[in-house]
Structure 1
Amino acid sequence: MEAFDELLDLERSGWNALCSGAGADFYGSTMTADGRMVLANGVALDREGVVASLVSAPPWAGYALSDVQFLPLGDDVAALVYTARAWREDPEAPFKALMSSTYLRSPEGWRLALYQQTPIPD
């Protein structure tokens, strides 16, 4: 499997975990030890902060990813950039953002090092 397919599968697995309420476990095991998430609300969290915030976060009801772009940044580093729509109750009133996820390949597989959300205004 090519790196693009592996990372897209991993990214979707993260979204599926957020929809099933398993986001804390997923990101706790997928993020690098020094990984960061920069969120649309202006907060930047380390891995422990991400896990803590997701323990009580309400699950998403659904999501859609579009315009996915793959950026190889080195032999063992790559990023995905995409547009995401996610909703909790009303699919007609989604959270929309431009997202980027930068992954590092380790002996255990790909690990999320940096994730960023930039909201898309209505």
Structure 2
Amino acid sequence: MDDVVTEELLALERRGWDALCDATGADFYGEVMTDDGLMVLADGSVMDRAAVVTALGASPPWHHVAMDDVRLVRAGADAAVLVYTGRAWRTEEEPALTAAMSSLYVRDGGRWRLALYTQTPARAPSAGV
């Protein structure tokens, strides 16, 4: 069961990044996010669905994205978190945004919806936990 859920959520997450790369992210996330969904970004901003749609409508597209070390964490029968290391480039010349990313999806009416997305900026490894 987790393999099926992982495949479904990974495909949905990739569709979201594809939308961010082809400048249709506002439409995609306006549809996929729950009414009370939030995004917590690497710069510390916290945006509700309306703010996400507005921001994405005015943002330049991403050039390309890579997702590595993908893991699934079940959060009940109808919820799961996709956790991965994401790297996203605005242009070929600029350094990538590299962050630990997580997307909490909930099943709503038979389809997966994004309830919470977070980015935690990557940093150099430390000696401690």
**Superposition deviation, residue 50 in structure 1:** 0.3
Structure with more strand by fraction? 1
CA RMSD across the alignment: 1.4
**Superposition deviation, residue 90 in structure 1:** 2.2
1:7 is aligned to 2:5: no
Aligned partner (choices 52, 55, 61) of residue 50 of structure 1: 52
Gaps of 5+ in 2: 125-129
Aligned to 2:18: 16
AA aligned opposite 1:77: A
Q: Name the CA distance, whole Å, in 1 between partners of 2:88 and 2:47.
A: 20
AA aligned opposite 2:58: S
* Helix, strand or coil at the partner of 2:62: coil
Gaps of 5+ in 1: none
Q: Name the CA distance, whole Å, in 2 between partners of 1:86 and 1:44.
A: 19
Aligned residue pair count: 122
Aligned to 1:98: 100
Ranges of 4+ aligned residues in structure 1 off by more than 6 Å: none
* TM-score normalized with structure 1 length: 0.95
Higher deviation after alignment, 35-44 or 91-100: 91-100
Say which one has the larger Rg: 2
